[in-house]
Amino acid sequence: MEQDFEKIFQDKVDREIRIEPKDWMPEKYRQTLIRQISQHAHSEIIGMLPEGNWITRAPSLRRKAILLAKVQDEAGHGLYLYSAAETLGITRDQMYEQLHTGKAKYSSIFNYPTLSWADMGVIGWLVDGAAIMNQVPLCRTSFGPYARAMVRVCKEESFHQRQGFEILYVLSKGTEAQRRMAQDAINRWWWPSLMMFGPKDDESPNTIQSMKWKIKRFSNDELRQKFVDVCAEQVKVLGFTLPDKDLKWNEERGHYDFGEINWDEFWQVVQGNGPCNKERLDARKKAWEEGAWVRDAALAYANKKAKQKQAAA
């Protein structure tokens, strides 16, 4: 019986029919999606912090308004994604719990510090750019609620990426100090951005199954190569450089060759030893713990009002 269900399920996936929350699905598919969607939601929420760090210091009122709107968008993305994950039978509170205890991960990129205004540009250009590469294929992912959430997320992300590039473009036309600021930010964020695509294909244990289920459509290395190819050209428009002496166009492959990623650093950050892992998680735990009385009060008030309404009816 189970085998029949599994066959029908895979058949639907193969025919590009979306899987919906009430459809039968293999338990492992459900768990994989919960892990991936919640990790994605957590990344949006933790991702508010490094950029939130510059809202009060944005250098003009226009930049301040744009940055506020952008960070608010990220909160909104977190909201859709938590809702999508909830359709799989987990609550938002359970997901928070997993984040706060370290059981659930989030994108390691947000464990790096934002040291200058140029970081706001680079996060938009490189970090959101890498996220878009990862996320555009997810608009066609096999699980319906996730795919639909991603359509909206991707629209907003492409606006974020453009505004990031524009910040850098203005800096590139600015003073010597501004150009130095921008190049320094690119130097710090380039390698961590490449790491956003995850481990190399031969070290990515979940890839094959996820591709069969059409949760994932391209491998980590394929997407990473595409990202390098795009950025190597865009950086020329800015008149800056990417910090990789091995970066070189390879005529034969039709791609840029690039240097070896420091995988030791990648795994260190994943394991919690990045420069800001503790600060990021502490900030979220603090918001959650200090907000407990607010949530309790809201619930108590809603219950009171519901009772009063009942009594009046």
Partner 1 sequence: MATTKNEIDFLLHLADNALIIGHRNSEWCGHGPILEQDIAITNIALDYIGQARNLYQHAAELINQHTDKIELTQTGKDISLPVTEDSLAYLRDVVEFKNLLITEIPNGDWAQTSLRLFLLSQFQLELFTQLLKHEDPQVAAIAEKSIKEISYHVKWSQDWVLRLGDGTEESKRRMQNAIDAIWAFTGELFIQPEYATAACLNYAAIQTAWNQKVSAIFEEAGLVIPAKTFVQKGGATGMHTEHLGYILAEMQYLQRAYPNSEW
Name the site residues for partner 1 (rule: CB under 8 A).
Answer: 45, 48-49, 52, 55-65, 68-69, 71-72, 75-76, 78-79, 82, 92, 117, 167, 170, 173-175, 177-178, 283, 286-288, 290-298, 300-301, 304
Cβ 49 to partner 1 shortest distance, Å: 5
Compare residues 182 and 195 and give the one whose CB is closer to partner 1: 182
Rounded to whole angstroms, the Cα distance separating 241 from 259 reads: 14
* Contact (CB, 8 A) for 113 and 135: no
Of 24 and 301, CB closest to partner 1: 301
The residue ranges of DSSP E strands in 76-171, in sequence order, are: none
* Beta carbon of residue 212, minimum distance to partner 1 (angstroms, whole number): 33
Kindly tell me which of 12 and 280 has the beta carbon lying closer to partner 1. Answer: 280
In DSSP terms, 255 is beta-bridged to: 250
Contact 19, 12 (CB under 8 A): yes
* Closest distance to partner 1 from the beta carbon of 66 (Å): 10
Q: How far is CA 186 from CA 21, 204, 209, 308, in A?
A: 41, 27, 35, 58
| Closest CB to partner 1 among residues 66, 228 | 66
Q: Which residue has the tokens 């800096």?
A: 171
Could you tell me if 181 and 116 are in contact, meaning their C-beta atoms sit under 8 angstroms apart? yes
Token code pair at residue 13: 């996936």
Task: Give the shortest CB-217-to-partner 1 separation in angstroms.
Answer: 29
The identity of residue 230, as a single letter, is V
DSSP H helical segments within the chain, as ranges? 2-14, 27-52, 61-86, 92-100, 118-122, 128-135, 144-172, 176-195, 207-212, 220-238, 263-268, 277-290, 292-312
Nearer to partner 1, 13 or 85 (CB): 85
Query: Closer to partner 1 at the Cβ: 292 or 313?
Result: 292
Q: By C-beta, is 46 or 138 nearer to partner 1? A: 46
Minimum distance of partner 1 from residue 117's CB (angstroms): 6
Enter the tokens of residue 51. Answer: 């950029």
All residues at 6 or more sequence positions from 116 whose CB lies less than 8 Å from its CB, including other chains: 181, 184, 185
Six token digits for residue 306 = 């519901």
**How far apart are the C-alpha atoms of 146 and 32, rounded to whole Å?**
12
Rounded least distance, CB 140 to partner 1, Å: 27
Give me the least distance between CB of 151 and partner 1, in Å please: 20
